[in-house]
Amino acid sequence: MPAAAVLLLLLQVVTPTPWAEDPARLALAAGIEAADRAFVAGRWDEARRGYEALLSRVPEPLTVTLHEQIARCHAAQGQPAQALGHLQVLLDRNPANLALRARMADEALRGGLVERGRALLRSIHEADVAAPKAWLEAAIVLVNAGRPDDALSCLGRALERDPGHVDALFQRGFLLIQLQRRAEARTDLLRVLALAPADSLHARIAVDTLAALR
């Protein structure tokens, strides 16, 4: 994902003076776009250097996108430790971001940093985060990373905090189907039907899925 579309929009919000009146901002925009072109073309070193040069030139809250892009460049080059370093900067700013922890765990394990990956997974399961959404987002990352058991645990934590969280019930139901735990999946999908509006997408999919489970 190129940074320019998001970052340039955010820069315009926080610096509302017309860009045409500020050559420094035009140069900044050109730098972002050049780094993005290199990123899209797979010129990872060039893209990374471009993003790194921009870190000191944008307001700190907007460096999130740059750190993410730099991490992607390192990951594409098979440099998991360097990628994790940039993601750690973001995690230090927001320790409750469980999805980021999950992404970092996946990056570490795929990159052969097994102990770091396991430690990150433990940090998720040991976290004391109240927001069900944080657990749901972590679960989605873990499902995509091929770690269904860890994802199931996170969905359980989301539902401990909000037993009527329709999206968590929906996601858990389908994950349980993948794990061949059809009776438990049926229970979750029936709860989705009881809680979600009848005309909602969650309810319509649950109806069709429950029919197929018979």
Counted domains in the chain: 1
Tell me whether residue 188 is in a domain: no
pTM of the model: 0.85
Tell me whether residue 120 is in a domain: no
**Would you say residue 23 has pLDDT above 90?**
no
The whole-number pLDDT of residue 16 equals 54
The whole-number pLDDT of residue 169 equals 98
Tell me whether residue 158 is in a domain: no
Range of the domain at 46: 1-93
The answer to whether residues 78 and 120 touch, using CB atoms and an 8 Å cutoff, is no
CA distances from 108 to 25, 33, 35, 102, 105 (A): 36, 29, 25, 10, 5
**pLDDT bucket at 21, cuts 50 / 70 / 90:** low
**Would you say residue 25 has pLDDT above 80?**
no
The whole-number pLDDT of residue 59 equals 81
The answer to whether residues 213 and 185 touch, using CB atoms and an 8 Å cutoff, is yes
Q: What is the pLDDT of residues 95-139, one digit of tens each?
A: 999 999 999 999 999 999 999 999 999 999 999 999 999 999 999
